Amino acid sequence: MPLRIGIILGSTRPGRRGDQIASWVLDTAHAHGGADYELIDLADHRLGNLDEGGNPNLQQYEHPHTRDWSELIDGFDGFVFLVPEYNHSFPGALKNALDYVYREWNDKAAGIVSYGGWAAGVRAAEALRLVLAELQVATVRAQPTISTHPSFHTGAFVPQEGLDTAVRGMLDQVIAWSGALRGVRETKAEAGAAA
Ligand SMILES: Cc1cc2nc3c(=O)[nH]c(=O)nc-3n(C[C@H](O)[C@H](O)[C@H](O)COP(=O)(O)O)c2cc1C
C-alpha cells in the first residue's frame, strides 16, 4: 500500500493566504512523488469548538463530525502541516482539530511548512511541535518557511528561491519516517490482537 500523506491547511479565515500556499505545496508534492498526497482543509470540516464529552483516547465519539474526522485522520500515515503564525502561535482552529482525536494521530510522522511575517511563522511551528509531541506525532527536522512579505508582494503567491528544494527535502524525511512508523503501528496492532 502506498503511503498516504495528508497536507493539513491550518488556516480557516476568509481571505486567507494559506489556500494559495496549499495549492502550490500539493502540486510540489505530487511532482515529488513517493506517496499519495491529499489536502485536508480545516475549513471543509465544520468541527465547531470541541463538543465531545469523552476522553478522545477512548474513541467513544458522540457526534458524526467527530467520527468523520476520526476516520479521515486514521487513514493517513503522515502529515504536512501548513501553519500560519497568529500571535506567536498557531491558529486556534488547528489546535481544536488536533484536540478532537488522539489515537488517530499516534505513531505518525509530520513535517511543518510555516508562514507569516518576517519571522516566517517559526514561532507557530515551535508551538505546534510541542503539541504534536503529546499526540505522539514525530516531527521531522526539515522545516520550510515562507515569509509572506516577499512571497505575496504582488498579492499572488510567488515561491521564493529554494522553497521547492526545501519542501522536497522535508517530504523525503516525512516519507522515510511515515514508512518506519507504519511498521510501529502494525507491530502494536499485532501485539494487541495477540493479547
Ligand atoms: C490573528 C492574526 C495574528 C497574527 N499574528 C502574527 C504574528 O504574531 N506574527 C507574524 O509574523 N504574523 C502574524 N500575523 C500575520 C499572518 O501570519 C499572515 O497574515 C498570514 O498570511 C496568515 O495566514 P492566512 O492568511 O493563511 O490566515 C497574524 C495574522 C492574523 C490574522
Decide if pLDDT at 165 tops 90: yes
Ordered by where they begin, the domains of the chain are 4-194 (3.40.50.360)
Contact 68, 97 (CB under 8 A): no
Evaluate: CB of 85 within 6 angstroms of ligand 1. yes
Decide if pLDDT at 195 tops 90: no
As a whole number of angstroms, the distance between CA 113 and CA 5 comes to 14
Crossing angle of the two packed helices 92-100 and 122-134, in degrees rounded to 10: 10
Q: What is the pLDDT of residue 86?
A: 98
**More confident site: 151 or 118:** 151
Nearest Cα residue to atom 20 of ligand 1 = 116
Contact 85, 55 (CB under 8 A): no
As a whole number of angstroms, the distance between CA 25 and CA 144 comes to 11
Decide if pLDDT at 194 tops 90: no
Evaluate: CB of 108 within 6 angstroms of ligand 1. no
pLDDT tens digit sequence for 132-142: 999 999 999 99
Ligand 1 atom nearest the C-alpha of 87 is 8
Evaluate: CB of 144 within 6 angstroms of ligand 1. no
Decide if pLDDT at 180 tops 90: yes
Evaluate: CB of 86 within 6 angstroms of ligand 1. yes
pLDDT tens digit sequence for 54-113: 999 999 999 999 999 999 999 999 999 999 999 999 999 999 999 999 999 999 999 999
Evaluate: CB of 18 within 6 angstroms of ligand 1. yes
Task: Tell me which long-range contacts 45-53 makes (C-beta under 8 A, separation of at least 24).
Answer: 45/69, 45/72, 45/97, 47/96, 47/97, 47/100, 49/96, 50/96, 50/99, 50/100, 52/100
Evaluate: CB of 19 within 6 angstroms of ligand 1. no
What percent of the chain is modeled with pLDDT above 70? Answer: 100
Find the 11 Cα to ligand 1 centroid distance in Å.
10
Evaluate: CB of 91 within 6 angstroms of ligand 1. no
C-alpha cell at 144: 520550510
As a whole number of angstroms, the distance between CA 181 and CA 35 comes to 14
Find the 77 Cα to ligand 1 centroid distance in Å.
29
As a whole number of angstroms, the distance between CA 116 and CA 86 comes to 8
